[in-house]
Amino acid sequence: MPKFLTIFRRELAAYFTSPIAYLVAFAVLLLTGLIFNNDLAQRNGHQSTDGTIVLSWFAFFTLFFAPLITMRLMAEENREGTIELLMTLPVNDSDIVIGKFLGAWAYYTIILAITGIYQVITVWLSPPDVGTIIAAYIGLWLYGGAALAVGILFSAITENQIVAGFLGLAAMLILWLADQVGTIVNNRTLAVLARTFSFQSHYVYSFALGLVRFDDIVFFVGVIAALLFTTTRVVESRRWR
Amino acid sequence: MIQVEHLTKRYGGFTALSDVNFNAEPGEILGFLGPNGAGKTTTMRILTGYMPPSEGTAHVAGFDVLKDSIDVRRHVGYLPETVPLYPDMTVRGYVRYIADLRSVPHAGDRVTEVLKTVGMYERRESLIRSISKGMRQRVGLAQALVHDPEVLILDEPTIGLDPHQTLEVRDLVRDLGKSHTVLFSTHILSEAEQVCDRVIIIDKGQIVAIDAPQTLRDRLQQGGRLFVRVAAQAEPKAVIKKLSGVAAVSSVEPFGDGYTITASAAADIRARLASTIISAGWDLLELRPLAMSLEDIFLELTTSTPQSSKEGKRRA
């Protein structure tokens, strides 16, 4: 079995032995559940149902819980000294980072998959535009991966999980709100540039509307690849300190 | 098995290791002895492929630590100073995880075997967070042994253990030394003396002595020292004067309730001393050679060597 799969399996299993992971899943599902229920109640009989409302909120919540999922990934190894063991095993540094990232992404995917219950209810009540919902899920999954990649980078640079969590959260807020730059700066070029790097603009104004565009997919996949590469370099830099 | 040549490691402006050379033969237990911060851990981290040296080369099991880092890591079992454990895993789950990362064939059987070797098989389903410090140390050892490495590198494996556990770990290391090359560090001198075939004494990043513990002691003990005690009726000044007159005695100093006498050459002066004391009319209560322990050797080598005064600015 490839080394990163061994690490992936251990990381995914670790989520299910820690109470924090259950609490995160519980909180996310409780919040989205309330929003879903509220949305249905408001629309009752007046409007057709829309399965993507709850997903837009899920995207917003991801800002806050993605750093919670990833903060321990590298920071805990740094603090406990287990990183020294991992780095003296016949395993490439990239295997460590990729395995851990995939573990977090799989956990995120499980939480995301649970929201599928809302879609089942929506379909049962009145069939919505299923294509839009599928597009939103694809986008949410990719965007979540990018958010986790941001988190793992900050987890690698510190030994303190709380610091990793806060830095990840701050970075995510900046990346999410970057497209608002256009409303405060009087410079079109700068606004367009900022918007290019905004996670929100690549999700809310495309996948969430039912658009699966090649450039948005490339954006999120590229962000994930670039951040994992940087994280690997950060981990590697421990050898030179 | 281990060849280290001109190894130097700098952290910024600070030199942690400078020009370190040593070898370890297959099946040898090599003790790495030195005060805290002497460079023991740094050397071990270089040998295990954790960090590259600034200068010099090191080969482990025939592989270069810089060029064939992955091959080196494949042939080395390493127990760092802080035992690297995941508290949320079970003992067996943890050792199995490491075995899988090391691609150990028949990992399940091998894990069982190695847990029996370190005496943790009965506690295999316990969570690591719930076991005692001594047990954690043994789980750490199991992890280092699981792939049956040619070279074992153990960084202070007995630190923080109670005397009983310390003995167990020492016995285990001695057993392992029969079939593996073991490099282990300690700052407990008696431990090095009991367990090792050879001892490397390192201080401030430099090797001050490499030899068998026995040879080290002999080498520093030319010119025997004796301890003499006479009954209290004798006037100390008179005793010193009288004994200094004995042939081949180079110095007599009061020490506790007796005197230490240093002979100038390897001459045996015991008979002459005894007859001198008796003929002076004093009662001879005790006359014994003073054996220099590894402790004394260590202090002598690591406090006032010429290098250490020159490099005095380095971290102690």
Among B90, B28, B23, B17, which Cα is nearest to B56's? Answer: B17
Reference A49, options A119, A138, A117; nearest CA is: A119
**A172-222 pLDDT per residue, tens:** 999 888 888 777 878 888 888 888 888 888 888 888 888 899 999 999 999
The residues that bridge with B15 in the sheet, in sequence order, are B10
Best A1, A7, A85, A87 residue to mutate vs chain B (most B CBs within 10 Å)? A85
The string of pLDDT tens digits covering residues A38-92 is 988 888 777 777 878 889 999 999 999 999 999 999 999 999 989 999 999 999 9
* Residue B308: pLDDT band with limits 50, 70, 90: very low
Question: Two tokens at B263?
Answer: 């002979």
Q: Which of A18, A84, A89 sits opposite B102 (nearest CB)?
A: A89
What is the average pLDDT across B289-310?
60
d(CA A210, CA A207): 5
Res B307: pLDDT: 43
Closest-CA distance of chain A to residue B232, Å: 59
Q: What is the DSSP-derived secondary structure letter of residue B161?
A: -
**Which range among B100-114, B180-194, B195-209, B270-284 has the greatest average pLDDT?**
B100-114
Residue B316 has pLDDT above 50, yes or no: no
Compute the distance between CA of residue A52 and CA of residue B78 in angstroms, rounded to an integer: 52
**Position A183: which residue type?**
T
Predicted interface score ipTM higher than 0.95: no
Q: For residue B25, is pLDDT > 80? A: yes
Least confidently predicted of A9-13, B83-87, B171-175, B312-316: B312-316
Residues of A in contact with B78 (CB under 8 A): 85, 88
Cα B50 from Cα B57, distance rounded (Å): 14
Contact B290, B227 (CB under 8 A): yes
Beta-carbon separation of B84 and A80 below 8 A: yes
Among B70, B205, B208, which Cα is nearest to B60's?
Answer: B70
Interface of A with B (CB under 8 A): 1, 3, 6-7, 10, 14, 17-18, 80-82, 84-92, 238-241
Q: Could you tell me which residues are beta bridge partners of residue B211?
A: B199
- Residue B27 DSSP one-character state: T
Q: Do B51 and A7 touch (CB under 8 A)?
A: no
Residue A160's pLDDT is 94
- Assess whether pLDDT exceeds 50 at residue B310: no
Q: How far is CA B258 from the centre of its chain?
A: 32
Confidence label for B294 from pLDDT (cuts 50, 70 and 90): low
Mean pLDDT of chain A: 90
Per-residue model confidence as pLDDT tens digits over B216-237: 766 665 556 788 888 877 788 8
Comparing C-alpha atoms, which of B143, B152, B202 is closest to residue B177? B152
Give the pLDDT confidence score for residue B306 in this predicted structure: 45
What are the pLDDT digits (tens) for A134-184?
999 999 999 999 999 999 999 999 999 999 999 999 999 998 888 887 778
Torsion of CA A96, A98, A103, A109, to 10 degrees: 170
